[in-house]
Amino acid sequence: MYNFYITANADGSGYYDDGLTGEFDIINAKGKVGVDGLASTKIQWNSGASAHIYYVWLEATDNGGCTNRINIQITPQINKFDLLSENIPVDNTMSCPAVASTDGFNPLASAYDAGTTTLKFIVRRLNGTDNKQTALAGDTYDWSFQPVLSVNPAYNTGISIVSIVGVNSGKLTSDVNNLYLVKGTDSEVTVTVAVKNVPGVSQDVKLSIKNQSESRSNLLDSNSSNDSVQHRIEVLPVIDSLQGV
């Protein structure tokens, strides 16, 4: 049998009761050692834990009642993992509708046909956890997010994500939960969006990122204030005719 517990001191004194302290929660602290010989537990560090040093103990007991124990010192750190979304460049918050033929623009169409406007956004990762299992400089744990697009006016359903690309990750594909997993060696990815132009109205396009997390550490996004970015596509002027005098 094994048992995990936490104390304030390396000599085992200052036992913490996770039911009384709000700084951490031990999940599945007791159990049997499996055939693999491993004992494990999950510890959730809560607000205030970064102000202290903790000693996590593993106590093992055999069938005869003899026990042995070992500890590891842990100093929880404040979560600074953050994903943010930006325009490219960051101050590029407005554009005119694309009017190139490659974007489907047809000035000679009998009905309004202004094609699509392509926008590019960045999703950037800040303060990733160093992956100490590799010697690669700048390598951190992988990270993931869910992109959510919206447009005002909402009746324009012609909006879609064309691609999400990282320098090292390449072109990403989503899983069944619409999450995109990015290699830790990429600190940002480019999100390309196509928006169908509509006549006589400005369009506000918003990219929001949700369900952000860092793999292995399971850190969640620490700052929700920068999770959304907006870009306005202005009205395309309509010229009815052009005549010489």
> What are the extents of the domains in the chain?
2-74, 82-233
The residue ranking higher by pLDDT, 119 or 199, is 119
- Name which of 161, 158, 11 is nearest 71 in CA terms: 11
Q: What confidence tens digit (pLDDT) does each residue in 74-117 have?
A: 988 888 889 899 998 888 899 887 766 676 666 666 555 667 88
- Residue 238: pLDDT band (50, 70, 90) is low
| Helices first, then strands: H and E counts in the chain | 0, 17
Parallel, antiparallel or unpaired: strands 42-45 and 228-233 = unpaired
Sheet holding 159-166, edge to edge: 82-87, 116-126, 188-196, 159-166, 170-171
Average pLDDT, the chain: 86
The residue ranking higher by pLDDT, 9 or 17, is 9
pLDDT at 108 (0 to 100) = 60
- Residue 236: pLDDT band (50, 70, 90) is low
Q: What confidence tens digit (pLDDT) does each residue in 133-175 have?
A: 776 766 889 999 999 999 998 888 889 999 999 999 999 999 9
In sequence order, which residues have a C-beta less than 8 Å from that of residue 57 and are 6 or more positions away?
4, 5, 6, 7, 12, 69, 70, 71
Mean pLDDT value across residues 121-127: 93
**Residue 4: pLDDT above 60?**
yes
For the chain, where are the alpha helices, taking DSSP H only? none
Q: What confidence tens digit (pLDDT) does each residue in 95-107 have?
A: 887 766 676 666 6
CATH architecture, domain defined by 82-233: Sandwich (2.60)
pTM of the entire structure? 0.73
Note whether 238 and 197 are within 8 A (CB). no
